[in-house]
Structure 1
Amino acid sequence: MNLDFSDKNNTGSPYGMTFADAGAENGAAPIQNASSSVPFEDQTPSPLDSARQLTCGIDFLTDFWKEKYLQEYIKNGGSKIKFITGRTGSGKSHFLRLMTAIAQNEHYKAVQFSAKNIWMHDFKEIYKEIFLQCGIMECLEGISRHLIREMGYDPDEVSDGMRFIDYLSEHGQADALTRREIRTQLKHIFLENPMLDNNFALACSMLTGSILGYPVLEEQNRNLLLAWLEGDRTIKLSQLRALDFYPSRITKYNARHMLRSLTEIIHLGGYSGLFIAIDDLEILISRSSLEPVHYTKMKREDTYESIRQLIDDIDSMKHIMFVYGFDRELIDNENAGLKSYQALWMRIQNEIVGERFNRFSDMVDLDRLAVQEYTPDVIVSISRSLAELQKNVQAAPLDREAAEEVAAQARTGAIGIPQLIQNIMQEVRMDV
C-alpha cells in the first residue's frame, strides 16, 4: 500500500479509503464521490478506527476540535468556518478525512468533497452537493418519529414498513380529530419555525406527511419535491402548482438561506449538526491543463466573494461547521490568491500570531503545528503507525536518527513532515 500525504490526490488515503468514504460509518447513508454514483461499501475496520492509527501528533488539534466544537459549541447551536493550510505533504487531506470521520462518530451529518469536483464560484453547486450527501429523507424520518412521540404514541410500536396513519387505523384512532392533530404538529414543526425558508418548510412538511401516511402524497409528487429541494433545474415549477406549492428556483443568491434550512432539518432529525469539509481549494490558482476544472479570474473572484458572504452569514446559521483545506500557495500567491481579494483576506487573516500554536485559530497552519508537536519521538511513532498499515510491503519504522533528519529537513524544505516520513520509509524499503 502506497500512502500519499501529498494533499494533491483525494483518491488515495493514508488508511486505505477514499476521501468520500467516511460516510459509511455508524449506519449513515454512504457518501458518494462527486464523480461517481456508486456508493461506498462498508469496510472493516471502520473509517474512524482506521484513521485513529494515524493520529499521532495531529490529535493535539483533532481532540481539541472534537471537545470544543463538535461536542460543545456546534452541538449547542453555534456555527463556525475554519481554514486548514500548510505545505505539500503536511497532512491537510488526512486531517479533513479524520475530522469528517470524528464528526460522524459524534452523530453529525458529515459532508466532504474536493474543489476539483465541484464548482466553487456558484454556492448553489455547493448546496446541491451537500444536499445529495446528507440524505434528507433520513432526517425527515427522525422528525416523523419525534412527531409521533409528541402525539403520545411510541414510534417503536409502528411496525417496519407500516405508516403511522395505518397504525392508527388498526387501532381505530384515525379519526378526523387525530388527523387534524397531525396537520397541527406538521405546521408547528415546519411552517412556524423561523429558521426555515417558507418554501423549504412546506416541501419538508409534505414529505414528512408522506412518511406518516397523512396527508397523502403521491410518489410522483414526492420525487418532484425532492428534485426542487436538490436544486434540479430540469423540473418545471408549474408541475408543483398542483400541490398548492409556488416556490422560486434555488439559485446562488438564495442557496445559503436554503443551506440554513437544511441544517435546521438535520438538527430536528436528531443529529448533532452538519460538518462540511472542502479540500483542494488551491485549484483556484492552478494553471495545470491536467486539472478537471479551470478558474478564470472572474470565477476565482466570484469564489472569494462567495466565501466572504458565507463568513458574513454564518452567524445566522446554527449547528454547522465548514472547514476549507488548501496548499500554502493560495496564501503566498499575492496576485491570484486569497490576499488578492481584500474583502475576504481581511476576514480570515490572523492579526496576532503568538509563539505557541493557537488551537482556537480560524486559520490553521499545519506546518506551525508540526514544528511544535512533531518531535523526533512523535515522528518515530508516526512511522510505526505507517509501518503497521503497510505490513504487506514490509515497511520498517524510522529510528531516532532518521526522525531527527526528518525534523531538520522540514524546517527548510518544501515538503511537510508526514510526506517526508513516507518518502524516507520508501527509500529505506527500496534499499533493502
Structure 2
Amino acid sequence: MHTTKEEWFDLIREEYLHNFISNGGAAVKFCVSIDDAGLDGMLPLLRKTSEDEGYVLALVDAASTKIHMVDKLFHEVARQIDWDGLSRAFVKEFFTQNGYQLSEHDEYFNLQNIAKINNRTEIFFRRELRSWLEEVIFRDFEMSQEFRIAMIRLCLDQLDTTGPSVFLSNAVKEWLQGELRLIATLKNALIFQKIARHNARHMLFSLAHWLRVNGKSGLVLVLDITRYLVSIRSKNANGAFFYSLPAVLDVYEMLRQFIDGTDEMGGLLIVVLAPKEFLNDDKRGLRSYDALKLRIWDEVRDRQRQNPLASLVRLANSSAE
C-alpha cells in the first residue's frame, strides 16, 4: 500500500509545516511518483498547503534551471521573491513598534513625510533609522554578511523613492537575481563579490531566515529534478536542458550537502520531486551515487505499508497498488 499525494500533504502540514519548520526546523524530502500519472497535481497541492500555513513557495525546474549549480538555484529562487514587499513590511514594523504615525497612502511612505508627520528632524530621524537597522539586521548573525548588507540597503531605499539610491537598490536586486553585469556597481553598497558556488548556499539559508524575520513561516523550496533522469537527448525538447552524467552526480552531491546541512538551516523545507526512474535507473538514478542513497534509502521497511514521514516517499494516485 502506497501513500497518496493527499495523505502525504496532510501529514507534512501537520508534522512539519504547522510547527517544526516555522519554529526554525529544516528538512529535505524526496517524493517519487511510482505510477504513470507522474507528479501531475503536486505543485497546486504544495502551493495551497504552503500558502495556508504562511510560507513562501519557490519552484525550480531542472528543465529551465541548472539546479546542480547552487548559485543558479539561488538566483532562480531570488527571482520569485518580492524583495521590495519584504523590505517595506520590515521598515513599517519598525515604525509601528516605536509608536510612529504613518500615512495611510503608500505614495507618502518616505522618510521626509514620516519625519514631518511625527514632528521629527529628518537628519536625526535618518540617523536613528540607520542605527536601528544596524542593530536588528547587521547584528543578526543567522544571515551571511553580504545578505545583511543587501537587506539594509533595500530597507533604506524604501524610504528614498528618488535619487541615486533607487539605482543602487535595483542593482542589489539584480545582484540577488544573478543579472548584475559589473560587481563594481555595488561598491558603494559595500558588496564586492558576486553570488557563486562558494556563498550561494548560505545566501539561501539567509533568505529563509529573512522570511521568518518578516513574519512568514519560512520557505518551501520545490526542486523538480525530472530532467536529470532523461537519458536520451530529444530534438523537440522545447528549450529544456539535457544533463550529462557528471551533472547528475553534481546535483546528487548538492542534495547530499543540503541534507547534511540541515543543522545550519532554519525555516526551510526542501521538497525534491523525481520520477520513478530515480529508483530504477542504475546509471542516472539514486543507485549511481551512494553518498546520497545511504542518507535517504529505506533499506528496512514494511513491504505492505511505507513510512510517510521518511526522507524518501513513494507517492501514488491511489493507496492500493
Instruction: Compute the TM-score of the two structures, normalised by the length of structure 1.
Output: 0.68
Correspondence for 1:89:
36
| Residues 10-60 of structure 1, C-alpha deviations (whole Å, 9 max, x = no match) | xxxxxxxxxxxxxxxxxxxxxxxxxxxxxxxxxxxxxxxxxxxxxx95432
Q: Distance in 2 between matches of 1:206 and 1:244?
A: 7
Q: Spell out the pairing of 1:1-400 with structure 2 (5 A cutoff).
A: 58-155=5-102, 157-165=103-111, 166-213=113-160, 218-234=165-181, 236-241=182-187, 243-289=188-234, 290-291=236-237, 292-354=240-302, 355-367=304-316, 370=318, 373-374=319-320
Q: Distance in 1 between matches of 2:153 and 2:271?
A: 33
Q: Distance in 1 between matches of 2:225 and 2:141?
A: 35
Structure 1 stretches of 4+ moved >4 Å: 214-217
How far did residue 83 of structure 1 move?
Answer: 0.6
Letter paired with 2:106: D
Residues 299, 280 of structure 1: alpha-carbon distance in 2 compared, 3 angstrom cutoff = closer
Q: Distance in 2 between matches of 1:63 and 1:154?
A: 42
How far did residue 315 of structure 1 move?
Answer: 2.1
Equivalent residue of 1:85, what SS? strand
Q: Which structure: greater strand fraction?
A: 2
Equivalent residue of 2:171, what SS? helix
Q: Distance in 1 between matches of 2:124 and 2:140?
A: 23
Can you give the 5+ residue segments of structure 2 that lack an aligned partner in the other structure?
none
Conserved in 2, the CA contact under 8 Å of 1:285 and 1:337? no
How far did residue 158 of structure 1 move?
Answer: 4.8
Residue correspondences, number: 314
Residues 277, 253 of structure 1: alpha-carbon distance in 2 compared, 3 angstrom cutoff = same
Q: Distance in 2 between matches of 1:228 and 1:256?
A: 15
Equivalent residue of 2:80, what SS? helix
Q: Distance in 2 between matches of 1:143 and 1:349?
A: 41
Could you say which structure has the larger radius of gyration? 1
How far did residue 249 of structure 1 move?
Answer: 1.0
Conserved in 1, the CA contact under 8 Å of 2:22 and 2:212? no
Equivalent residue of 1:324, what SS? strand
Q: Distance in 1 between matches of 2:167 and 2:91?
A: 21
Residues 117, 84 of structure 1: alpha-carbon distance in 2 compared, 3 angstrom cutoff = same
Q: Distance in 1 between matches of 2:96 and 2:246?
A: 51
Equivalent residue of 2:305, what SS? coil
Greater relative contact order (Cα < 8 A, sep 6+): 2
Conserved in 1, the CA contact under 8 Å of 2:100 and 2:118? no
Q: Distance in 2 between matches of 1:215 and 1:152?
A: 26
How far did residue 195 of structure 1 move?
Answer: 1.2
Q: Distance in 2 between matches of 1:150 and 1:293?
A: 48
Identity of aligned residues (%): 25
How far did residue 216 of structure 1 move?
Answer: 7.7
How far did residue 93 of structure 1 move?
Answer: 3.1
Q: Distance in 2 between matches of 1:365 and 1:163?
A: 50
Conserved in 1, the CA contact under 8 Å of 2:160 and 2:166? no
Correspondence for 1:402:
none
How far did residue 356 of structure 1 move?
Answer: 2.8
Q: Distance in 2 between matches of 1:269 and 1:61?
A: 28
Conserved in 2, the CA contact under 8 Å of 1:84 and 1:325? yes
Equivalent residue of 1:366, what SS? strand
Residues 213, 174 of structure 1: alpha-carbon distance in 2 compared, 3 angstrom cutoff = farther
How far did residue 143 of structure 1 move?
Answer: 0.9
| Residues 179-210 of structure 1, C-alpha deviations (whole Å, 9 max, x = no match) | 33211211122110011111111111011011
Q: Distance in 1 between matches of 2:89 and 2:135?
A: 16
RMSD value, Cα: 2.3
Q: Distance in 2 between matches of 1:271 and 1:233?
A: 28
Q: Distance in 1 between matches of 2:222 and 2:155?
A: 28
Stretch moving more, 217-226 or 89-98: 89-98
How far did residue 359 of structure 1 move?
Answer: 2.2
Residues 225, 100 of structure 1: alpha-carbon distance in 2 compared, 3 angstrom cutoff = same
Instruction: Compute the TM-score of the two structures, normalised by the length of structure 2.
Output: 0.89
Conserved in 2, the CA contact under 8 Å of 1:209 and 1:216? no
Q: Distance in 1 between matches of 2:280 and 2:309?
A: 22
How far did residue 362 of structure 1 move?
Answer: 1.3
Q: Which structure: greater helix fraction?
A: 1
